Homo-oligomer: A and B are copies of this chain.
Amino acid sequence: MKEQSGIGQMISDLKALDTKNMYLKDFFWTWDKTDDEIHAVFKVADILRAMREHNISSKVFDSGLGISVFRDNSTRTRFSFASACNLLGLAVQDLDEKKSQIAHGETVRETANMVSFMADVIGIRDDMYIGKGHAYQKTVADAVEEGYRDGVLEQRPTIVNLQCDVDHPTQCMADMMSVINYFGGEKNLKGKKVAMTWAYSPSYGKPLSVPQGVIGLFTRFGMDVVLAHPEGYDVMPECEQVALDNAKKYGGSFTKVNTMEEAFKDADIVYPKSWASFAVMQERTKIVETGDQKALADLEQRCLANNAKFKNWTCSEELMKTTKNGKALYLHCLPADITGVSCKEGEVDASVFNRYLTPLYKQASYKPYVIAAMIMLQRFKDPAKTLEALVKRNQQRVVL
């Protein structure tokens, strides 16, 4: 059974990848990582899924905590992190800042150490304010690194970025795994056109991390990535630069266009999604710091009014017909604002969304494995050897 599963071959493939610099490090942004490291995440995710499908336990931790910090509401990311931790044997302990003494004036450095005495991983979602999310994650990482070095912590918990203001690596890598599988392998991606486009939603302030993460990651696969958004909805210039550099290095392209129509034309993959503009998010961050509620409400009204000018930016059946053979793969990180379902006018026609339901759900299904793979690569010195030990142990996930 084990040989038929291809697990042995996948572990051999993993051995060929250089992942030693991931050990006891953190996962913030995909563009921090080498190609070997990105591929290792995909490979370990595939191995863990295959093991699960063959009822082989991947419990590498007999005890240990996975700490989650959600500074924004979350369903799928919360459950993905919980699933990943559980798959590896870690118990999830949520750091709910409302139930903590953090309000007493405790520093981030102190809290990070205090919760980490038996923590193997810390998953953080902090995506609300430009210039804040990554900074917070980095502060936590530095604190536990220091705590480990000073002998306060017996192990170095590693950080998994569950979404920050810059990147959303667990989402975008799950997206990419679904794309690779959909098109029958990475080798088939070269030259494929990807339309990462803004879409209208009756809400404001959605994070920029998905479009930024997508253009930063998809350009590494030789694809032609097109970014489209209305005027004023720019993403962070640093992320566009990453995409440009990748295009040059990996032989694809990164271009910006001004209409959804142009982006969708002959696209193989479309990813229409709402986000706030970088400029608005910067303004909002400053207002939040002053605590001026009226200014915040004014900004929201202004933004919603501005959004409303672009209601025609929607993934309609008509637009889908203009994609490659009228059959582009539709991606979304979910939940989507579906016209006539979750809102009056939104990001996508209900009939389009419903046609892609199964691929969309499968797209999401990669996330727990991506997170688990990051944990394994960051916490184990020789992950291939550990995986081999698990296969050899051959413990059942479910007693049959």
Q: Which residues does A use to contact B, with CB under 8 Å? A: 49, 52-53, 57-65, 67, 70, 73-76, 78-80, 82-83, 86-87, 89, 91-93, 95, 99-107, 110-111, 113-115, 117-118, 120, 147, 150-154, 203, 334-335, 337-338, 341-343, 358, 361-362, 364-365, 367-368, 379-381, 385-386, 389-390, 393, 395-400
Partner of A100, one of B59, B74, B113: B74
Question: B57 near A86 (CB under 8 angstroms)?
Answer: no
* B residues near A361, Cβ cutoff 8 Å: 110, 113-114, 147, 150, 152
Q: Is there an interface contact between A75 and B62, defined as CB atoms closer than 8 Å?
A: no
A393 cross-chain contacts in B, Cβ below 8 A? 399
A-B contact pairs, 22 of them (CB 8 A): A53-B154, A58-B63, A60-B398, A61-B397, A62-B398, A63-B87, A73-B100, A75-B95, A75-B106, A75-B111, A75-B115, A78-B93, A83-B117, A92-B93, A101-B335, A104-B337, A104-B342, A105-B342, A118-B368, A152-B358, A381-B400, A389-B399
Query: Shortest distance in angstroms between A210's beta carbon and chain B's nearest beta carbon?
Result: 14
Complex partner residue of A365 from B75, B87, B89, B117, CB under 8 angstroms: B117
Q: Which residues of B contact A380 (CB under 8 A)?
A: 398, 400
A365 to B368 CA separation, bound complex (whole angstroms): 31
Minimum distance in angstroms from A173 CB to a CB of chain B: 15
- Ordered nearest first, which 10 A-B pairs have the shortest CB separation? A105-B342, A75-B100, A83-B118, A106-B335, A152-B361, A57-B62, A76-B114, A79-B115, A60-B399, A150-B358
A114 touches B79 (CB 8 A): yes
Chain B residues, Cβ within 8 Å of A86 = 63-65, 91, 118
Find the B residue at minimum CB distance from A111: B75
Q: Are A358 and B151 in contact (CB under 8 A)?
A: yes
A57 CA to B62 CA, complexed, in Å: 7
Residues A335 and B105 in contact, CB atoms below 8 Å apart: yes
**Chain B min CB distance to A154 (Å):** 6
Q: Are B74 and A106 in contact (CB under 8 A)?
A: no
Q: CA of A64 to CA of B57 in the docked complex: distance in angstroms?
A: 10
Shortest Cβ distance from A84 into chain B, in angstroms? Answer: 8
Min CB distance A396 to B, Å, is 6
List B contacts of A115 (CB < 8 A): 75-76, 79
Check if A91 sits within 8 Å of B93, measured CB to CB: no
In this complex, what residue of B is CB-closest to A93? B82
Identify which of A118, A152, A358, A380 gathers the most chain B CB atoms within 10 Å of its CB: A118
Q: Are A89 and B74 in contact (CB under 8 A)?
A: no
Among residues of B, the one whose C-beta sits closest to the C-beta of A53 is B154
| A114 and B75 in contact, given A63-B89, A154-B52 (Cβ under 8 angstroms) | yes
Closest to A95 in B: B75
CB closest chain-B residue, reference A338 = B105
